Amino acid sequence: MKTFSYERAKTPAEAAAAAARINGARFIAGGTNLLDLMKLEIETPVHLIDVNGLALDKIEVMPDGGLRVGALVRNTDLAADERVRREYPLLSRALLAGASGQLRNKATTAGNLLQRTRCAYFYDTNMACNKRSPGSGCSAMGGVSRQHAVIGGSDACIATHPSDMAVAMRALDATVETVRPNGSTRQIPIAKFHRLPGDSPHIETSLQSGELITSVTLPKPVGGTQLYYKVRDRASYAFALVSVALIQQKDGSGRVALGGVAHKPWRVESAERALPRGSKATADAVLAGAKPTHDNEFKVKLVERTLAAVLAHAKEMRS
Amino acid sequence: MQNTEDINRRELLIAGAATAAATAFPPTVSAQDSGTAAPVISKVTFEVNGKQQSLALDTRTTLLDALRDHLHLTGTKKGCDHGQCGACTVIAGGRRINSCLTLAVMHEGDRITTIEGLGTPEHMHPMQAAFVKHDGFQCGYCTPGQICSAVAVLDEIKAGVPSHVSADLLTPPKFTNAEFRERMSGNICRCGAYSNIAEAAAEVAGTRA
């Protein structure tokens, strides 16, 4: 691991200002992904700003009936929160499908959104990777790409975003709240938070330099039947091959977001009109234009089948 | 000259670990001290097993390395060092965490319990006693992590934290074999003592595996 200096931030604005002032500084909260990458020298911050002391660990009901989740709320606490279990079960289910008990105890809401891809070529510093080393090429293309994206990729990158929580938040239309180094705040709809790789896969979010996530807000509960199905190589503690988040109302209308298929949580609002017509029609619409590799073309069929299972389960719950 | 039989278990483990490290990791991993700048030293004070500890550490020191190399509490084990195996599990602030994926300096004022703090050979924690009774281990390397994790799992169930296999999010979870196994998926046992580990935990929980 490279050497780095360390400070404990006192306020969000101070943390953001410090990050903008020091070139190569990074925030650290749970640290479960950042330290993993620092040990491999994929991340080499010269300065760490510990944000754990900031009072951003509350879950509050907002005047409009929605929920404000502090950036530092641990994954365990968010999944176990009574209001989340009751009103946003999709979010609880997605969180509980991710990582291990130990990691969920440390991992934070903001950190979960900011975790980096698990692409094996990104992790192997001997291999070319445009995300780790811009311009070096992509070893996943022509390599082993079973885990990789089937849609939204580019010639530069076919990595997937590994988060389960973010897929649920995309279906729930969450908003990311931030503070910038000059002290101003802004709200970023989750749909615009994560980026597709394009020709700059190393830029993964719409955050600016030094910008710090302070909370994530959820609109007032939308009800319906909420399910999160995650298909993976083992029953627990593995990243998704594909995952399906479903919110479905009594009339059959609803929302669908997918994990494991793209560089960001994948949702196509216009495709949701196909939901009453079933899994094949919906999967075809959500994954229209998919470009799978030889290794991961199974994911296209797997999305349809997982969607079929989820819709059958939802129907059973409504009856 | 030292006879082969005289090599103690610790030396053997060290030799074994060195061999494993040389073959199991890419060259980049062995270059952990390749920072060009001088190490940055930072002070941290926390409580470990009821005892206040003040250390001046290279900021890069993980909680795991601080416990093992600086406080000589070698019960906590280093397996993968990347949060995948759970051998380094300790309880910090009442919660189980991977001590390899957190920096020691991030634990200012924290209260940490390691396997040494749960019990002693003379006065074992009920979970330690149950692991012995049910043979919840073979080589023993993952055992401190398994025990710390199992103790915390029972607390999590008591606190009503749901899991991936909880059928209903609005009903308090109960200790069942399926619940325990799901919650312990972050602790790997390559000897495969899982069924005995589950029986040990079930006994402490007051149910049957």
Domain ranges in chain B?
41-117, 119-205
Average pLDDT of B113-131?
A: 97
Of B38, B82, B186, the CB nearest to A101: B186
Interchain contact A93–B (C-beta under 8 A): yes
Residues of chain A found within 8 Å of residue B39, distances taken between Cβ atoms: 3
Tokens of A115: 């975790």
The predicted structure's pLDDT at residue B16:
42
ipTM exceeding cut-off 0.95 for this assembly? yes
A35: nearest CB among B101, B156, B184? B101
- How many angstroms separate the CA atoms of B196 and B130, rounded? 10
Compute the count of residue pairs across chains A and B with CB atoms less than 8 Å apart. 132
- Closest alpha carbon within chain B to A126: B28
Q: Could you tell me which residues come within 8 angstroms of residue A310 by beta carbon, excluding any fewer than 6 positions away? A: A227, A229, A244, A246
DSSP string, A221-238: P--SEEEEEEE-SSSSS-
Asked if residue B5 has pLDDT above 70, the reply is no
Q: For residue B156, list chain A residues with Cβ-Cβ distance below 8 A.
A: 76, 101
User: In angstroms, what CA-CA distances link A9 with A14, A23, A74, A184?
Assistant: 7, 17, 18, 17
Write down the CATH superfamily of domain B41-117.
Beta-grasp domain (3.10.20.30)
Question: In this complex, do B98 and A32 lie within 8 Å of one another by their Cβ atoms?
Answer: yes
The C-alpha of B120 sits at a distance from chain A's nearest C-alpha, in angstroms, of: 24
Tell me whether residues B83 and A32 touch, CB distance under 8 A. Answer: yes
CATH superfamily of B119-205: [2Fe-2S]-binding domain (1.10.150.120)
β-strand partners of A258:
A244, A266
The per-residue pLDDT for B13 is 45
B173-192 confidence digits (pLDDT tens): 999 999 999 999 999 999 99
Alpha carbon B144 to its chain centroid, in Å, reads 5
The radius of gyration of chain B from alpha carbons, rounded to an integer in Å, stands at 19
Average confidence (pLDDT) over B140-156: 98
Kindly list the residues from chain B whose CB atom is less than 8 angstroms away from the CB atom of residue A73. Answer: none
Mutate: best of A35, A77, A102, A103, partner B, most B CBs <10 A = A102
Given a cut of 70, the residues of chain A with pLDDT beneath it are none
State residue B1's pLDDT score: 41
The 10s digit of each residue's pLDDT in A123-167 is 999 999 999 999 999 999 999 999 999 999 999 999 999 999 999
- Could you read off the pLDDT of B15-31 as tens digits, one per residue? 444 433 333 333 333 34
For an interface test with A, the pick among B80, B97, B105 (most A C-beta atoms closer than 10 Å) comes out as B97
Strand A67-70 with A212-218, pairing: antiparallel
Q: Based on the number of CB atoms within 10 Å of its own CB, is B127 exposed (0-12), middle (13-18) or buried (19 or more)?
A: buried
Of A7 and B7, the structure prediction assigns the larger pLDDT to: A7
pTM over 0.90: yes
A318: nearest Cα among A268, A276, A262: A276
Contact A39/B at CB under 8 A: yes
Beta bridge partners of A257: A245
> Of the candidates A1, A124, A236, which has its C-beta nearest B164's C-beta?
A236
Q: Do B41-117 and B119-205 share a fold?
A: no
